[in-house]
Structure 1
Amino acid sequence: MHDGEFRAPGVELFDFPPLWDGAPFWLTKPVAITLLGVVVVCSLAWAAFARPRLVPRGLQNLGEYGYEFVRDQIARPFLGGDTDRWMPLLLSLFTVNLVWNFMGVFPLIQFPVNSHIAYPIVSAFLVYALKIYLGFRHQGLAGYFRNMAFPPGLPRPLALVLYAPLEIVYVFVTAPFTHAVRLFANMFAGHLLLAFFSAVGFWFLVTHPTALGAPLGIAGVITAVVMTGLEMFIQFLQAFLFTMLAAMYIGDSLRPAH
């Protein structure tokens, strides 16, 4: 928005200077929100479970619902008997990413941490490194590649020529890339859309109000409100999918298909 003309917000929304003059170049708003999100998750966990009761109430009740959701809907379908062992990691992944995503619609903050590609990449890389480590540890180096490239029931020549190269590319390139980019792209696009419709409403109703532009401004505000609700659902869904894929990768490394 400049010189009496409306200009849609763009990628400059994701470019932040240091928090104050003289601050380290890396100390920006996304970094502060990241730390805030971790503090929020740790504080809620402490408040819920520091003094657990036999009959849960309040935050403990909410925390147990969250734990059961991650256990039953994400971990158990892929990990089976190993579920409890991996729940601390999966519950942490889900809750932290959920809070980071919800920061995009939280008043005065309004920035989803995962719309900066660095954060999903780090999370996805940690899951990927764990997946490869567990695969080598539980299947052996040769066994890991054999189970990955030559699934049971598939003719060996067909697997060698077609399936094995595609599966190797998927495991070592495509899977970690899409694991990170899926989360990033949804948060990036959602934040951009919310900013656009909010800017439309503000421009035509506050900055440059006109009789002809008022209906467009009202439509922008209504769309921004509806999009906020939709974005909250997507934020939850992406935290769920990211954690579900992590559980699936761990399960595949622990118990290859036979």
Structure 2
Amino acid sequence: MITPSSVTAADEFHAPGPSIFDLPPVFEIGSLGVTKPMLQLIVAAVVVFGFLYLAIRKGTLVPGRLQYAGEEAYGFVRNSIGRDIIGSHDFQKFTPYLVSVFFFILLNNLFASIPLFQFPTFSRSGMAYALAGLSWVIYNAVGMKKHGVLGYLKLQSVPSGVSPAMYPLLVPLEFFSNILVRPVTLALRLFCNMFAGHILLVLFATGGFYLITEYGGIGYVAGPLALVLAIVVSFLEMLIQFLQAYVFALLNAMYIAGALADEH
């Protein structure tokens, strides 16, 4: 029987770390290495577009199953995020974007739990920052279009109902918070949750197999327990994957609503 003292250095367990996200290219186009997360972005975009297109392609008064699923999916984002947050006057024009970003993020997050994929796309920080940067451009452009550049910057930086004596302190903080920090926190929230969740799943799975195959003794008890926890955590992670997509779309709606508002 293998005991802790008999496990050699070569057999020592190496906990998963950031290196597990450094995937080799699937193939190369010239000097560009195309990685798995890059392909997942394309697959997610095609699947989301294809599903929504097929759902509405032959719209009928009495919807079939696919049309009904598409209408329910669209209506969920339209009503619970777009209309409730942005307001009934302006939400319609932003609903397609909110629907697209919600389901695009959701599918990329769920890739972490789908066999053969098993990797959360937005656990790569660059991809999360790129999507947050797109959101930053959209809601700032919306605000500048309505209020003008200077009017929008004033709206976002100068709080109403505050004594001008407080402006030297509050205006830089408001500008920093509303203009500069938002895309960073938007990306970090998505990236960190996907990053940490994936590491946790890999830790439980690899640790469980290690305890069973290399440790022996108590490992025959702790190993299966770790594998059971990996299954439990995987279901919890699916809930987090949904919530992160919802929160990202919700915050986008809130930022758009704030950009359109006449007072800060």
Q: Does 1:219 align with 2:232?
A: no
Given the alignment, which residue of 240, 247, 251 partners 2:246? Answer: 240
Change (3 A) 1:161 1:22: closer
Structure 2 partner of 1:150: 158
User: Which amino acid is 1:228 matched to?
Assistant: S
User: Which amino acid is 1:220 matched to?
Assistant: A
Structure 1 partner of 2:205: 198
Change (3 A) 1:156 1:22: closer
Q: Provide the alpha-carbon RMSD of the alignment.
A: 1.9
Residues 134-191 of structure 1, C-alpha deviations (whole Å, 9 max, x = no match):
2221111221122222232222222x12221110111232111101111000000001
Structure 2 partner of 1:184: 191
Structure 2 partner of 1:43: 50
Residues 66-123 of structure 1, C-alpha deviations (whole Å, 9 max, x = no match):
1111112111122211111111111000000000000011012100101001111111
Structure 1 partner of 2:113: 105
Find the residue that maps to 1:111 and give its secondary structure.
Answer: coil
Identity %: 37
Find the residue that maps to 1:208 and give its secondary structure.
Answer: helix
Shift of 1:14: 0.6
Structure 2 partner of 1:125: 133
Gaps of at least 5 residues in structure 2 are 1-7
| CA–CA distance in structure 2, aligned partners of residues 43 and 36 of structure 1 | 10
- TM-score of the pair, normalised by structure 2: 0.91
User: Which amino acid is 1:34 matched to?
Assistant: L
Gaps of at least 5 residues in structure 1 are none
| CA–CA distance in structure 2, aligned partners of residues 252 and 73 of structure 1 | 17
| CA–CA distance in structure 1, aligned partners of residues 226 and 18 of structure 2 | 20
| CA–CA distance in structure 2, aligned partners of residues 72 and 22 of structure 1 | 43
Structure 2 partner of 1:114: 122
CA contact under 8 A between 1:98 and 1:239: conserved in structure 2? yes
User: Which amino acid is 1:137 matched to?
Assistant: K
Matched positions, count? 256
| CA–CA distance in structure 2, aligned partners of residues 109 and 35 of structure 1 | 13
Change (3 A) 1:142 1:193: same
| CA–CA distance in structure 1, aligned partners of residues 9 and 45 of structure 2 | 37
| CA–CA distance in structure 2, aligned partners of residues 20 and 221 of structure 1 | 33
Structure 2 partner of 1:65: 72
CA contact under 8 A between 1:78 and 1:251: conserved in structure 2? yes
Structure 2 partner of 1:249: 255
CA contact under 8 A between 2:205 and 2:230: conserved in structure 1? yes
| CA–CA distance in structure 2, aligned partners of residues 21 and 35 of structure 1 | 16
Structure 2 partner of 1:27: 34
User: Which amino acid is 1:250 matched to?
Assistant: I
| CA–CA distance in structure 1, aligned partners of residues 9 and 50 of structure 2 | 43
Find the residue that maps to 2:34 and give its secondary structure.
Answer: coil
Find the residue that maps to 1:103 and give its secondary structure.
Answer: helix
Find the residue that maps to 1:85 and give its secondary structure.
Answer: helix
